[in-house]
Chain A
Amino acid sequence: MRLSEDQARELAARAVALTPADEAEALVMANDVALTRFANNRIHQNVAEEDTTVSVRAVLGTRTGVASTNRLDDNALKACCEAAVAAARVAPQDADFPGLPAPAPIERIERVCESTRGFDAEARARAAAAIIEQSSVRGLSAAGAVSRADYAVAIVNSRGIDAAMAVTSLKATVLSSGTDGGSGWASWLACDASRFAPEALGDEAATLAQRSEMPGSLEPGNYAVVLAPEAVSDVLDFLGYLSFGAQAVDERSSFTADHQGERLLSELITLTDNALSAETIGLTFDFEGCPKRRTPLVEAGVVRGPVTDSYWAAKLGVPNTGHALPAPNPYGPLPMNLELAAGITRVDEMIASVERGLYITRFHYVNVEDPVRVTLTGMTRDGTFLIENGRLTKPVKNVRFTQSAVDALADVRAVGDRRVLVGPEEGGANLAPALLLGSWQVTGQTR
């Protein structure tokens, strides 16, 4: 059983009081998480963890230091606070440091579901069994995980911030594989476990696996592509990380630097970071205890942003959007709850409009070749199909792409009418629809 919100808040306040500095901030993260993993149609790993970590930021003038511990006795906590002060003492002054942030109203959204908190080892095992059955009865092999997260976060600082929130989520993934090279994928993520239908999830992956058997070859080249939401979410992750944080914009490593207010992407693209959406999960304040603001990043193709935290807001002279990561962090503030505005096109309508192209279920092992143009390389996985004359005609072996996301999102032909919540359950997730893109560069294929 993890600490409650109030217990986490009390612990954070205790750490602030124990820190002999000009200003102090304490971040408490209390986790009770469990994950049931299966492969080859059986549960093979099944784990649980309880932990509480206190992270203290001490401020002496404009010098800061950070220390953290998960030892919560008085001596260990005091030593942690003193270590933060010792670090601050040797740090040079930072003329841009504005001091710790002051409190601001935080929107309260209930994101704890008892159904999820109670989703115990037996419930997870039964869910895994239901997923597995959908593959095993068809002669397929299922692998995946059912994971439950239940955590409380509290942030207290000496300027009066006193924020706490508890969050639950349930996530399930399934890969269904056949013996003839076919595989299918499905995933589910939500706050409320009572809405989870494991049989349907298992069926979705197994059906896709059957459909993708005996995949064929594909020549490299540029193809129109329909990206399913999970693939779109991967692209959004990189776009958010590389392009819409204040540090990247300030360092001129973002394609948006010096171009805010210009239309650089398709008019069909409207991208927002919105931790306050009723459809998403995660915290409504950032890791400084500041409210997460709904932040437009792209409006009808016109680039906006970036997201900020207290440091970067002061440095750039713009509002604090509430996107701080735990201090210290080398990335600056980042968007964690991206949502791409839905369009009006169904996926079958997208496919019907393509003369020759690809349908891609998801990507694998994507990495960055050029951070400015967000040029990514990676593989497709678990359901890649050739589209010919408006129909999915045959599965193809996984292909490698090397493609600028900026260029691809400048040529959007349609946006899906239905969005899916995709992502890690901790810290946030993306709301992504399917996309039809005019061109996607395939540069290779696996055997």
Chain B
Amino acid sequence: MRDLVMTALDAAASAGSTYADARAVLTTEERISVRTGRVEGIEHSESLGIGIRVIADGAWGFASTSALTPDAIRAAARQAVAIARASALTAAAPVRLAPLGVFDDTWHGPCRIDPFAVPLEEKLALLLAADEGLRSHEAVTVSSASLDFVRVEKVFGSSEGSMIEQSYVESSAGLVAYGMADGEVLPRSYPNSHGGQASQGGWEAILALDLLGHAPRVAEEAAALVSALPCPTTTTTVVLDGSQVALQVHESVGHPTELDRVLGDEAAYAGTSFVQLGDLGSLRYGSPHVSVVADATVPGSIGSFGYDDEGVPAQRADIVREGVLAGFQSSRESASAIGRASNGCARADGWNRIPLVRMTTLSLEPGTWSFDDLIADTDDGIYMETNNSWSIDDRRLNFQFACEIGWEIKGGKLGRMIKSPNYTGITPRFWGSCDAVCSAERWHVWGLPNCGKGEPMQVAHVAHGAAPARFRDIQVGVGR
């Protein structure tokens, strides 16, 4: 693929680009899904192509193709330059990129057991058995189980002289049992909702989830939800499990601190941000218990890599430090706008998309509490687990999340089960109400392989380290 990249860079230079980069990417995927005892799909797919991004006349152009003959690649490079010149019709100031060194390197993600080499029969047998376990209770009439494996091999080259080869494997799995009552559908998932848990790694990551061991417990909880209490409409203390904290970090810290959103580049689609450039170092984002870091070096996380898709080395950066805004996630162009170096958050969803500012592994740092002590310390409230629904406004202030399951907390003990609890808040006020975060013992990296952003739509694979945390005076049972 190095030759393809060199052909593209040479052609872009010949066509008049002042900067060019090219990414050749081969993505191979295997997905197996089972629903209520029926094999819904066994699918193998691959996609190979090259994307060529250029600056010409001070403006951006990008063209991509899956036709990989030298002539087709040269034509795409010329098209990218022509597109850049069209962009220049409205350009106010030429594009500037933050300075970057030159890298000639390779990077490979962790993978002990190649999941593509594990026989399909073995993978299917695991899913069918887990799916059967999900239906071990008569109240569960619908169930689903899925496995997904992705292998990415890519080569990045730039006109500045970098040439970087990277490869990694992602493995994910998820189970859902649906408690079906008259007029209600109550999902219960493991290890997480929305497709389960995704990690960088191989078949060993799936085995570690122990799907078979968890399926009966998931079924029991789904069945119990049918007769669980509705969520009361009140203002109370909320304790969120790690996976829900991860999504809360994603939506209300991750997106608002993407520098392209702050600068207005995503205004029409995903929106902007309540965070302003001048807030850096002064905005009280949350309580002193809230420290958030963006770290693309976390082993086994789907937010990790050696270099981002602009060739910037993976790194760790403070975003919120003890409650105060400490940084933005940036690309070379957005970092240049504030006079800084990129912190390596430019990522593209395949060969046919440009890099955008995306989360890597954005984590709430662990606190000091054990989970048992946290519950024991809570006199009255609700403990909620596993996201079921999420929504947040275009400036990332007003949010509303629903979870699959909750339990009353009364007198420091978990009590009766609550179905479909939801809560709402305003971002800085919510994080300001955080008075406890559990310790590293309960801290876990949750993979989210479904983060949508951009036009055309891009789906990023990001991750969040999080532990259970407590929030005071939260409005719950919204709209019930």
* Residues of chain A at the chain B interface (Cβ within 8 Å): 33-53, 55, 64-71, 80, 83-84, 86-88, 90-92, 94, 96, 120-122, 124-126, 128-129, 132, 141, 143-145, 147, 173-175, 177, 251-253, 255, 327-330, 364-373, 375, 377-379, 381, 398, 400, 402-403, 441, 443-447
Q: How far is the CA of A195 from the CA of B66 in the complex (A)?
A: 32
- Annotate B51-63 by CB proximity to A: 1 below 8 A, 0 otherwise: 0000000011111
Q: CB distance B397 to A67 under 8 Å? A: no
Given contacts A71-B48, A398-B394, contact A42 B91 (CB under 8 A): yes
* A51 and B49 within 8 A (CB): yes
| Cβ-defined partner of A94 (8 Å) among B33, B39, B64 | B39
Residues of A within 8 A of B420 (CB): 369-370
| A91 and B124 form a contact (CB under 8 A) | yes
Q: Using C-beta atoms within 8 Å of the partner chain, give the interface range for chain B.
A: 35 or more
Question: Is B3 at the interface (CB under 8 A from chain A)?
Answer: no
Cβ A36 vs Cβ B87 within 8 A: yes
Q: In the complex, what residues of B have CB within 8 A of residue A94's CB?
A: 38-39
* CB pair B268 A143 closer than 8 Å: yes
CB <8 Å contact, B60 and A40: no
Which A residues are in CB contact (< 8 Å) with B124? 90-91
- Inter-subunit contact B49/A91 (CB<8 Å): no
Q: How far is the CB of A375 from chain B (nearest CB, A)?
A: 8
Contacts A94-B38, A175-B267, A377-B391 known; 14 new A-B pairs at CB < 8 A: A45-B354, A71-B48, A80-B44, A91-B124, A122-B86, A328-B40, A328-B42, A365-B394, A369-B388, A377-B479, A378-B391, A400-B391, A445-B398, A446-B395
Smallest Cβ distance from B406 to chain A, in angstroms? 14
Per the bound structure, the CA–CA distance linking A403 and B455 in Å amounts to 28
User: Cα distance A121–B89 when bound, in Å?
Assistant: 11
Give the most central of B41, B388, B390: most A CB within 10 Å: B41
Given A141-B264, A377-B391, the answer on whether A38 and B90 have CB atoms closer than 8 Å is yes
Q: How distant is the Cα of A147 from the Cα of B455 in the complex, in angstroms?
A: 9
Stretch at the interface among B157-165, B180-188, B306-314, B437-445: B180-188
**Contact between chains at A47 and B184 (CB < 8 Å):** no
Q: Find out whether the CB atom of B142 lies under 8 angstroms from the CB atom of A52.
A: no
Find out whether the CB atom of B63 lies under 8 angstroms from the CB atom of A443: no
Tell me the bound Cα distance from A367 to B398 in angstroms. 14
- Tell me, yes or no, whether B470 is within 8 Å of chain A by CB: no
Contact A91 B39 (CB under 8 A): yes
Shortest Cβ-Cβ A-B pairs, 3 listed: A328-B41, A402-B479, A121-B86
Q: Tell me if A446 and B268 are in contact (CB < 8 A).
A: no
Is the Cβ of B267 less than 8 Å from the Cβ of A444? no
Interface mask (B389-416 → A, CB under 8 Å = 1, otherwise 0): 1111111011010100000000000000
> B293 interface residue, CB < 8 Å from A?
no
Main secondary structure of the interface of A (DSSP, over half): strand
Least Cβ distance of B301 to chain A in Å?
25
| Minimal beta-carbon separation of A82 from chain B (angstroms) | 10
Q: A128-B90, A400-B398 known; A372 and B183 CB under 8 Å?
A: yes
A-B contact pairs, 10 of them (CB 8 A): A43-B60, A45-B455, A46-B86, A92-B39, A145-B269, A367-B389, A372-B185, A377-B391, A377-B400, A400-B393
Does B456 contact A35, Cβ atoms closer than 8 Å? Answer: yes
CA–CA, A255 and B182, complex, Å = 10
Interface pair A46/B61, CB less than 8 Å apart? yes
Q: Tell me which of B47, B263, B479 contacts A441 (CB under 8 A).
A: B479
- Name the residue on A nearest B185 (C-beta): A253
Among residues 351 to 365 in chain B, which have CB atoms less than 8 Å away from a CB atom of chain A?
A: 352-354
A175 to B270, CA, bound (A): 12
Q: Which of A36, A144, A444 contacts B400 (CB 8 A)?
A: A444
Whether the pair A330, B33 counts as a contact (CB closer than 8 A) is yes
B153 to chain A, nearest CB (A): 14
Query: How far is it, in angstroms, between the C-alpha of A174 and the C-alpha of B267 when the chains are bound?
Result: 10
A374 to B267, alpha carbons, bound, how many Å?
A: 28
Contacting residue for B478 out of A33, A80, A372, A443, CB 8 A: A443
CA distance A369 to B42 in the complex (A): 30
Assess whether B144 is in contact with A330, with CB atoms less than 8 Å apart. Answer: yes
The answer for the CA separation of A51 and B50 in the assembled complex, in Å, is: 10
Q: A41-B92, A69-B46 are in contact. Are A364 and B267 (CB under 8 A)?
A: no
Residues of chain A with a CB closer than 8 A to B59's CB: 43, 46
Q: Is there an interface contact between B391 and A379, defined as CB atoms closer than 8 Å?
A: yes
Q: Report if B83 contacts A (CB, 8 A).
A: yes
By a CB distance below 8 angstroms, the chain B residues around A35 are 455-456
Bound-state Cα–Cα, A343 to B394, Å: 32
In the complex, what distance in Å separates the CA atom of A252 from the CA atom of B142? 10
> Are A39 and B265 touching (Cβ within 8 A)?
yes
Interface centre among A44, A66, A92, A128 (most CB of B within 10 A): A44
A53 to B350, CA, bound (A): 15
**B35 near A: Cβ within 8 Å?**
yes
Cβ contact of B43, chosen from A38, A328, A365, cutoff 8 A: A328
Question: How far is the CB of B57 from the nearest CB of chain A, in Å?
Answer: 12
